[in-house]
Copies of this chain bind each other. A is one copy, B any other.
Amino acid sequence: MPQSKSSIHSFRQIFFLYIGFIIVFACLYLLPVSKTGDLSVIDSLFLSTSALSVTGLSTIDIGAELTRVGQSILMVEMQLGGIGVVVLISYLFLMMDKRITVSSMLLLSKDQNQYKLSSITSLALSVLIIASIVETICFIILFGEIRPRYDNYGDAVFVTAFHSVASFTNSGFDLFGDSLVSFKHNNLFLITTAITIFLGSLGYPTMMEYILSFRKRKTLFTRINIRMHLLLLFAGTVLYLLFESTNVLRELNLWDKLTNAFFFSATSRNGGLTTLDVSSLSITTVLCLMFLMFIGGASSSTGGGIRLTTAAVLLAKIGSVAKSRKEVVIMRKTITQDTIDKSFMIFFTFITLFFISTILLTIWQPQDLEPIMFEVLSALTNTGLSFGITNELAIPSKTILILLMIIGRIGIFSFIYTIFKVEKAKARYLKEDLAVG
């Protein structure tokens, strides 16, 4: 886990770059031209963080309290967040020479001293191109569905564009006022949006692999991601049908039940748009939803959570212990101890942050445990779903959620390395086994 000095240095650079962007955009929302009424500094910081980390939680009603200019800035920030994060994370992988993922995606030359800068540029470009293509297709399909809702042609164009960007970047913001509740019966709309969200959370490395080498055998990273994605998408749909058919899906016909359950499963990791009122879901469903949010999307994607490969490694580790095997094997590949170690660390820090933040929020929030826990997890996993308590949060609670959104997006390690000093290697101590558990 401990990194070289240079990669820790780049972790820090990225962290400060990220914070810089948040502050700049927060200032833009505070301009008179962006807002329709009053906007406090903490709310603009919250909005800016939520957009750059493509979370989608908001303490204000962005449809009513931002002008079209403000909403346009938001759209730019989401797009930047969605692309920027992928580029940043890929850059980190390059710095750490994790060539498996990144070079196979970019088909880069193996000359390590030369490729770093040029690869970042070409990566950023290719990511931007993919994003534009997917968003344009989404726009074309959905414009006809959104057009009838607006008298003004320009409004319809803007709202459709906003929705396309929000879907592909998994940012989960909406201008409809009640997320996608009014599209509950529009299957074309839901399935198009679900696929757009899915492509975003698939991750660019995987998409690039499919585009550039469709017939070739995929990397382990891509095969795990695809399998986990489809498995969880299916599991989510089944669970939601099972637990909600007689509850919030009660009044829908069979076909609508299916599309809405499927859509909700796709948006759980971590799209954030919803046709269902989260606070009306049964406790069982909320817990299943939280489980999906926690696992999240692929690494180097716009999805959040501990990420699919992390979950796969943890599962494989459990399997190997149960079978009393020394090696952890996924699809006939042995996973390195370093990767296993890192996966456990991610799991541990996620749980710890989730728990400590929930405790802190309960101090300032009068709500029940369930909505508070949910809100914290939604911020940490960059999901953006909510019981609707976001605008009731106290300032310390908002501050904590801002931190969680940042940590959830750029990774716990960049955060840790920024805060703590890096020590020189110490003298080795005697090794000792210790009775645990």
Q: Given contacts A221-B434, A359-B288, are A325 and B426 in contact (CB under 8 A)? A: yes
A147 contacts B by Cβ under 8 Å? no
How many of these chains are in the complex?
Answer: 2
- Nearest B residue to A436 via CB reads B310
8 Å CB interface, A329-382 against B:
329-330, 332-349, 351, 355, 358-359, 362-363, 368-370, 372-373
Q: Chain B CB within 10 Å — which of A287, A325, A333, A341 has the most?
A: A287
Chain B residues within 8 Å of A437, by CB: 299, 306-307, 309-310, 342-343, 346, 411-413
Q: Which residues of B contact A411 (CB under 8 A)?
A: 437
Interface-forming stretch among A26-34, A39-47, A416-424? Answer: A416-424
**Cβ contacts under 8 Å, A100 to chain B:** 432-435
A322 and B416 form a contact (CB under 8 A): yes
Q: When chains A and B are docked, how far (Å) is the Cα of A370 from the Cα of B371?
A: 11
**Chain A residues with a Cβ closer than 8 Å to the other chain, count:** 90
Which of B299, B341, B363, B422 lies in contact with A323, CB distance below 8 A?
B422
Confirm or deny: A291 has a beta carbon within 8 angstroms of a beta carbon on chain B.
Answer: yes
Partner of A428, one of B334, B423, B434: B334
- Roughly how many angstroms separate A98 CA and B433 CA in the complex, as a whole number? 8
| A346 close to B310 (CB less than 8 A) | no
Could you tell me the distance between the alpha carbons of A270 and B215 in the complex, rounded to whole angstroms?
57
**Is the Cβ of B283 less than 8 Å from the Cβ of A334?**
no
Q: Please report which residues of chain A, range 56-98, place their CB below 8 angstroms from some CB of chain B when the two chains form the complex.
A: 93, 98
Task: Give the residue of B317, B341, B359 whose beta carbon is less than 8 angstroms from that of A287.
Answer: B359
A231 in the interface (beta carbon within 8 A): no
The answer to whether A362 touches B284 (Cβ under 8 A) is yes
Please give 15 more A-B residue pairs, beta carbons under 8 A apart, in addition to A283-B369, A322-B419, A332-B429. Answer: A8-B324, A283-B362, A287-B359, A291-B355, A313-B436, A322-B416, A322-B417, A325-B423, A334-B430, A335-B432, A335-B434, A339-B434, A344-B344, A369-B373, A413-B437
